[in-house]
Chain A
Amino acid sequence: MAGIPVPTGRAPANRRAPALIQGLRSGDTFAHLITLLCAASVLLLSIALVYELYTNSTTAQHKFGLRFLTGRTWDPVSGEFGALPFVFGTLVTSALALLMAVPLGVGAAIFLSELAPPRISNALTFVIELLAAVPSVIYGLLGIFITAPFLRQYGEPFLKRTLGFLPLFQGPMYGVGVLTAGFVLAIMVVPFVISLSREVLMAVPMDQREGALGLGATKWESTWQVVVPYARLGIMASIFLALARALGETMAVTMVIGNDPKISSSLFAPGYSIAAVIANEFAEATADLHLQALIELGLVLFALTIVINGLARIVIISTTQKGSSQ
């Protein structure tokens, strides 16, 4: 809120009617007020959200305290609730998704913006934007009926044969599990990465490219050493948007993750995510404490998103400084 500049030379619009009319006539004050309201509503909405989540989970907070974050048992029958397996599942699936989606997405964006003929680029971009609009339940169904059987029959046995010495790729292969959830999430967020990164790359001024080429760089050298670093911030932003989507994704994840609140070193094992358990158990949670624990999980997801976004900011700021000092 502090970032919005308030014009100082003009009397506040609500104090004097003639000033208001004056402001309206010019349109400036009017626009200023409207946009201020828009901006304020976003902040108010966030505050209201946190307030609601907080006040509706006080009993659970008092009962469990910090144990809620470290507990590994989620037992609605005995009323014992711990969030750790859900936090773990959320973080691991999102990390996996980014690990797969970012190289693929940025690579595709570079091709589309720099190398592909415009006709192909436009056609592909249209398809990618279509993919971004597919409802997540469709991705979930594809996950159950195509991705999971494929990973069970080919993908996971292959990983076990080649990388089976790592604890990550051991244990029974069900097809559904953390790996599959990460895979489906990757498919879901890749269109975001491609679409936004491409926009940012296209916005790099032509003279940057021409300058690099003029200095004797090859086409690829100009792309990789000049255009991509120039667009770095925008590409980062696209990745964080993808991450936000991955963290909060519910439907597609719950359909393929196996929904078992356990922490396992193996990526083949089933897991559970915060958004998935809230969606799964909220409607039928009859016990008060169960409901409160689910709401507190919502608070945890909110905090998690803030922490990750904060870290993202720090990364952006530090890399920007590095960039400018060069």
Chain B
Amino acid sequence: MKKLSNPAIIIMSAALVLTSLVAFHSSASNAAPVPTPDQIMLTGAGATFPYPIYSKWFSDYNKIHSNIQINYQSIGSGAGIRQLLSGTVDFGASDVPMNDEQLGQAKTKILHFPTVLGAVVPIYNISGVSRELNFTGEVLADIYLGKITKWNDPEIAKYNNGVSLPAQDIVVVHRSDGSGTTYVWTDYLSKVFTEWQSKVGRNASVNWPVGLGGKGSEGVTGLVKETPGALGYVELTYALQNKIAYGRVRNAAGVFVKAGIAGVTAAAAGYATVMPEDFRISITNAPGESAYPIASFTYLLIPTRIENATKKKVITDFLGWMLNDGQEDAEPLTYAPLPKEVVAKELKQISQIQ
């Protein structure tokens, strides 16, 4: 060791650092494609619920226009809105429409473009009951308020003739992470039950009066499956893909509807005539016999002023493609496509982007 003098060690280590830096640099540039002059990169961030269809859309769109890359980070609706407001992304995405306060913080006006529809369904685990149960909004609200505590409560039995319900405690399960699913669920309960509105209200996370919290859809499903007597709620998409049985819910017309893709699209169509110009509407408890009552839009949030002309062209072109060809991807991925009336209205809104 003595033979190797100190300067030699220093020089050698410096050389080592240099080569590793060079190696790192070249590997980094290999990983990220070098943008050629006509290469266009867009970034968006937001809701996790539509992530599967968004990633399919962006990759399909890239196949048609090989020079356009749209990167989407599914970091949650709230974080998506914040990134859009701070201008770090080109567009945002949210399960919940932005409120007036948030819109006021924006430097330019922000447009809401509904992309697909989602629904939320009640799932349960009662030993000995394999039939689909019927629920009303009032019953669900009473259970989630902790007022109905047993499965054989007359309020539940009333709508489930012929089902022998056990005298089992209801274990209420809800999402613990802030989620658009929770927003839709609490929005529905607020609409149909004033006491829920005053005591709990609607939000992505609320102060639950009773129950256990599961993290994510998989957490809620896990808790419901593992806990006898449990009642929870998950996205329809999640229930369909994982083949989870779920109950029917009574809609505004008084019909018990099993959630399905057609029923969800019908819920949006039921509101088409009263749809506001900015699409910021809750479509829970929709009118119409076939409408499923716990449904919602998910939105892309696009600023009206886009300085970069090429980016503007890409965004408007993508929106047009998404509203026509893109809608066909919805059903195979168990999302409900937009009703025709809404698509027509959105196509008009595209012209507002300058």
Q: Are B226 and A144 in contact (CB under 8 A)?
A: yes
Q: How large is the interface on B (under 10, 10 to 19, 20 to 34, 35 or more residues)?
A: 35 or more
Q: Are A284 and B7 in contact (CB under 8 A)?
A: no
Which of B22-30, B70-78, B261-269, B345-353 participates in binding chain A? B70-78
Other-chain residue from A75, A174, A175, A285 in contact with B178 (beta carbon distance below 8 A): A285
The total number of A-B Cβ pairs within 8 Å is: 112
- Check: A176 CB closer than 8 A to any chain B CB: yes
- Check: B320 CB closer than 8 A to any chain A CB: no
Complex-state Cα separation, A115 to B10, whole angstroms? 46
Q: Are A144 and B219 in contact (CB under 8 A)?
A: yes
Cβ–Cβ < 8 Å partners of B226 in chain A: 144-145, 148-149, 175
Which of A2-10, A25-33, A36-44, A304-312 participates in binding chain B? A25-33
- Check: B201 CB closer than 8 A to any chain A CB: yes
Q: How large is the interface on A (under 10, 10 to 19, 20 to 34, 35 or more residues)?
A: 35 or more
Q: Are B176 and A259 in contact (CB under 8 A)?
A: yes
Q: Are B207 and A73 in contact (CB under 8 A)?
A: yes
Other-chain residue from A73, A152, A280 in contact with B215 (beta carbon distance below 8 A): A280
- Check: A258 CB closer than 8 A to any chain B CB: yes
Mark contacts of B178-220 with chain A using CB atoms, 8 A cut-off: 1 yes-contact digit, 0 otherwise. 1110000000000000000000111111111001111100010
Known: A145-B222, A172-B169, A174-B171. A260 touches B213 (CB 8 A): yes
Cβ–Cβ < 8 Å partners of A25 in chain B: 6-7
**Complex interface residues of chain B between 54 and 97 (CB less than 8 A to chain A):** 75-79, 81-82, 96
Complex-state Cα separation, A78 to B96, whole angstroms? 18
Chain B residue at smallest Cβ distance from A143 = B222
Q: Are B207 and A283 in contact (CB under 8 A)?
A: no
Cβ–Cβ < 8 Å partners of B207 in chain A: 73-78, 261
Q: Are A30 and B10 in contact (CB under 8 A)?
A: yes
Report A30 CB to chain B, min CB distance, Å. Answer: 7
Complex-state Cα separation, A83 to B6, whole angstroms? 56
- Check: B102 CB closer than 8 A to any chain A CB: yes
- Check: A94 CB closer than 8 A to any chain B CB: no
Known: A283-B76, A283-B79, A286-B96. A176 touches B201 (CB 8 A): no
- Check: A24 CB closer than 8 A to any chain B CB: yes
Q: Are A284 and B6 in contact (CB under 8 A)?
A: no
Known: A27-B9, A280-B215. A176 touches B178 (CB 8 A): no
- Check: A281 CB closer than 8 A to any chain B CB: yes
6 A-B pairs with C-beta separation under 8 A: A25-B7, A174-B212, A174-B227, A176-B223, A260-B213, A286-B78
Chain A residues near B (Cβ < 8 Å):
24-27, 30, 73-78, 144-145, 148-149, 152, 172, 174-176, 254-255, 258-261, 270, 272, 276, 279-286, 290-291
Chain B residues near A (Cβ < 8 Å):
6-7, 9-10, 75-79, 81-82, 96, 99, 102, 169, 171, 176-180, 200-208, 211-215, 219, 222-223, 226-227
